[in-house]
Amino acid sequence: MEALLRWAAEMGVSDSPSLASPSGATSSSSSSCLGRSLVVAEFPDAGGRGLAAAHDLRRGELMLRAPRAALLTSDRVTADNPRIGACVSAHRPRFSSVQILILCLLAEVGKGKDSVWYPYLSQLPRYYTILATFNDFEVEALQIDNAIWVAQKAIRAIILDWEEATPLMKELEFKPKLLILKSWLWAFATVSSRTLHIPWDDAGCLCPVGDLFNYAAPDDDTSLEEEDAAEVMNCQQKNKMSDSSKRLTDGGYEDANGYCFYARKKYRKGEQVLLGYGTYTNLELLEHYGFILDENPNEKTFIQLDLDICSVGTWPKDSMYIQPNGHPSFALLCALRLWTTAANRRKAISYQIYSGSLVSTENELEIMKWLISKCEETLQQLPTTVEFDESLLIFLRKIQNSTSWRTDVKQSCFEQEFAVFLRVHRVELDCSDLGPLPARLLRSLERWELAVRWRCNYKKTLTKCILYCASSVHELSLQRNQQ
């Protein structure tokens, strides 16, 4: 890490606006690009390694700037290597921008210490936990059909992209170890989970040090108090920010300065500084970034809906879901109200439904009872319960930190499940090797745990929905009896 921060400083990356240089040349003799606004820190319960505030940060304050020269982009790699540039140009119509960036990343990895980005590349994770890295056992552990389909689709897409790009990699004489699917998958996961948006390339860029920020889910609380608004205005004037950056959260590429990161809120010294890069559901976070949030305000839980429910109105299917608190979304509630209304009355009362109003007490009771039945049916069809999943999660975390895992497995109630897991990896529970779990099994355990966490959260949301609807039924029944 020290080598990375020293190299980044030489490339012009800095957390001090007065020291950063748009050209990429450092204007400081500092041995680190951090220490003035940010420091590297460990957050075991919140993303692992990340960036903390070196002092109290104001909302909108410029925290970090990375000049264009420090960014790993496909245009920079192809410009530095004419042969790669010529091959990519010749084949460009056949490949996506992501495939091209992956090729460029692998080309730089193949250069080893000769790559200008070697100090950065050597610090990248050796493995990832995005959905495309899941094996069949881990995919099936998701249990929910839609999630399994998303994972399988991601895996198929990666294999297809790799097969398409392999002839070009051979033409460029990539090293054999870089030609295999495992290397392509690693590069794809790096691009998927670490790139930042740039205006001239849909694939984005890899930003050394800038990709150390951990994720914060955006929410609807974007209002500013008067004091905050004054601070924002001061930061705007001080940092001479362009119009495109006036939102003053997170950051973006600015023509004159490179990639700039701003504090999305006030941070106290030592507090983890987070980056919000989109509103994602947990399944989307797992697919693209390899993690999930136990408290995700943007989570959407979908249940199987009949075609006539989806087509009864104009609401998109992805807008009909159950919210994290168990309440049906506005679109789902409206669709069900319209669906449970007699067909010859729908046109007459559609304006009432679209405004969010109840049709009638009886209509609302029917909807709530239908949702209870649907959620209960969905939960009953799944092979495990919330309680089982919660116990399994405790067990999996224990095994990952165990020094005598075989004893712990045999003393648990999950010996059968773990035996299946071991067979997938061609390991027997009763084999003579008593050493710790190999690294490849620990990595698989991490992905298995993510799958169980995802499905457990899914089931908890359905349970909340049942409780919410049951409470609504009780209240509506009382209102009806009082009328």
CATH number of the domain encompassing residue 475:
3.90.1420
Domain identity same for 329 and 458: yes
Domain identity same for 237 and 163: no
The answer to whether position 283 is within a domain reads no
The amino acid at 403: T
The answer to whether position 128 is within a domain reads yes
- Single residue among 190, 206, 222 that ends a domain in this structure: 206
Domain identity same for 433 and 330: yes
* Mean per-residue pLDDT, 372-386: 97
The answer to whether position 293 is within a domain reads no
pLDDT category, 240, cuts 50, 70, 90?
A: very low
Rounded to two decimals, the pTM is: 0.89
Give DSSP secondary structure letters for 307-369: HHHHHSSS--GGG--B-TTSPBPHHHHHHHHHHTS-GGGHHHHHHHHHTT--S-HHHHHHHHH
* Mean per-residue pLDDT, 430-449: 82
Domain identity same for 59 and 44: yes
Domain identity same for 271 and 312: no
The answer to whether position 435 is within a domain reads yes
| Residue 406 exposed, middle or buried by CB count within 10 Å (0-12, 13-18, 19+) | middle
Domain identity same for 98 and 128: yes
- Single residue among 181, 206, 231 that ends a domain in this structure: 206
The answer to whether position 138 is within a domain reads yes
* Contact present, 5 and 26 (Cβ < 8 Å): no
**CA distance linking residue 163 with residue 184, whole number of Å:** 10
- Single residue among 206, 230, 264 that ends a domain in this structure: 206
* Contact present, 358 and 472 (Cβ < 8 Å): no
Q: pLDDT by residue (tens digit) across 116-147?
A: 999 999 999 999 999 999 999 999 999 999 99
Q: Say whether pLDDT at 242 is over 90.
A: no
The amino acid at 73: T
The answer to whether position 282 is within a domain reads no
Number of domains in the chain: 3
Q: What percent of the chain has pLDDT over 90?
A: 68
CB crowding 122-154: b at 16 or more within 10 Å, else e: ebbeebbbbbbbbeebbbebbbbeebbebbeeb
The answer to whether position 139 is within a domain reads yes
Domain identity same for 330 and 346: yes
274/228: higher pLDDT? 274
Domain identity same for 152 and 229: no
Domain identity same for 202 and 214: no
Domain that holds residue 423: 300-483
Domain identity same for 123 and 98: yes
Q: pLDDT by residue (tens digit) across 323-360?
A: 999 999 999 999 999 999 988 888 888 888 888 888 89
Domain identity same for 389 and 354: yes
Q: Are strands 48-53 and 272-275 parallel, antiparallel or unpaired?
A: antiparallel
**CA distance linking residue 265 with residue 41, whole number of Å:** 19
389/227: higher pLDDT? 389
Domain identity same for 396 and 424: yes
Name 367's Cβ contacts closer than 8 Å, sequence gap at least 6: 333, 336, 337, 340
The CATH number for 221's domain is: 2.170.270
Number of residues written out for the chain: 483
312/209: higher pLDDT? 209
